[in-house]
Amino acid sequence: MSTSDAIATHALGKHFGDLVAVDALDLSVRRGEIYGFLGRNGAGKTTTIRMLLGLIRPGAGEVDVLGRRVGPGTRDVFARVGYLVESASAYPDLTVRENLEIQRRLTGAPRTAVADAIARMRLESCAERRAGRLSLGNKQRVSLARALLHRPELLILDEPANALDPAGIVEVRELLRALADEQGVTVFMSSHILAEVAHLADRIGIVHEGRLLEELDREQLRAKERLYVAVRASQPDRAASLLAAAGFAHIERADGELRVFDAERRTAEIARALVGAGLDLTELSAVHEDLEAHFLRLTGGLQ
């Protein structure tokens, strides 16, 4: 493990019977960065997070967190880690403030930490309300407040924006960005909100069927956001040949259409080449391919 890594795994694996949940996973998350961990439901995200936190034992491989090997009995390093796994939780019959006070005592945080966490997550209006009576969004805020209470060096968050309204999602985004930029906190987060991850993460890893398919940093992610012209026409083979002969060098076929790259300002030329050759043109539109489209293509499309 590099001293610059907050999280490192080597050949990490976990099986549940015949189900391969995580398969030879190698991760390297640098200190101070926000790492987005993307995958479909069942891709192995939550199982990976539970192994990072020592909640379940790996079937194979190794996990290092903040320079410490995670194994049976590992406890001290997790005093420097805040986490939210799977779903928001709290003692339902205790108030928000009482829930946070319990967490403060468990982590040894200063007495001012509860008030700070309530203010940071904008929970003032429900601080004296029983947690069991909160909306799902406010329960999520309480869980995030608990994760942040002791000012951890590393945050491991499973779907942190779950159940939040759009304003709440923006608040969490700004909070996590500020923690990373101003305090050097490392954030490892799984999410299914791909656009939000694209806004926030310094790097993303895409996992599918337990394996890491691809890692992208910000510059690589921008390069994946491609512009192309979607073309649907009769006789697609002939259409592709006509466009190639007309000087369009980069043409791909996908989902029953032709995708003509570097051509967003040449749509009229495309139309003339095809219609002039007697083909029926049924679609001609400029398309911006974002992270979501790239993710779907990489993991096998819609299911």
Report the chain (303 residues): mean pLDDT per 10 consecutive residues. Answer: 82 94 94 92 91 94 94 87 84 95 93 94 94 92 93 93 85 91 94 78 92 87 77 93 92 86 89 94 84 72 53
- The CATH number of the domain where 291 resides is what? 3.30.70
Give me the number of domains the chain comprises: 2
SS (H, E, C) the chain: CCCCEEEEEEEEEEEECCEEEEEEEEEEEECCCEEEEECCCCCCHHHHHHHHCCCCCCCEEEEEECCEECCCCCCHHHHHEEEECCCCCCCCCCEHHHHHHHHHHHHCCCCCHHHHHHHHCCCHHHCCCEHHHCCHHHHHHHHHHHHHCCCCCEEEEECCCCCCCHHHHHHHHHHHHHHHHHHCCEEEEEECCHHHHHHHCCEEEEEECCEEEEEEEHHHHHHHCCEEEEEEECCHHHHHHHHHHCCCCCEEEECCEEEEECCCCCHHHHHHHHHCCCCCEEEEEEEECCHHHHHHHHCCCCC
Query: How far apart are alpha carbons 267 and 281 in whole angstroms?
Result: 12
- Structural domain ending residue among the three candidates 176, 194, 217: 217
- The CATH number of the domain where 29 resides is what? 3.40.50.300
152 and 277 part of one domain: no
pLDDT for res 195: 74
Is residue 303 domain-resident?
Answer: no
- Structural domain ending residue among the three candidates 165, 197, 217: 217
pTM reported for the whole predicted model:
0.78
Q: For residue 250, what are the domain limits?
A: 225-298
- Structural domain ending residue among the three candidates 217, 240, 255: 217
239 and 158 part of one domain: no
pLDDT for res 196: 76
143 and 270 part of one domain: no
Q: What spatial distance separates the first Cα and last Cα of the chain, rounded to whole Å?
A: 37
Which are the contacts of 236, defined by CB distance < 8 A and separation ≥ 6? 253, 256, 258
272 and 125 part of one domain: no
- Amino acid identity at 145: A
CA distances from 197 to 38, 124, 161, 258 (A): 9, 28, 10, 29
126 and 46 part of one domain: yes
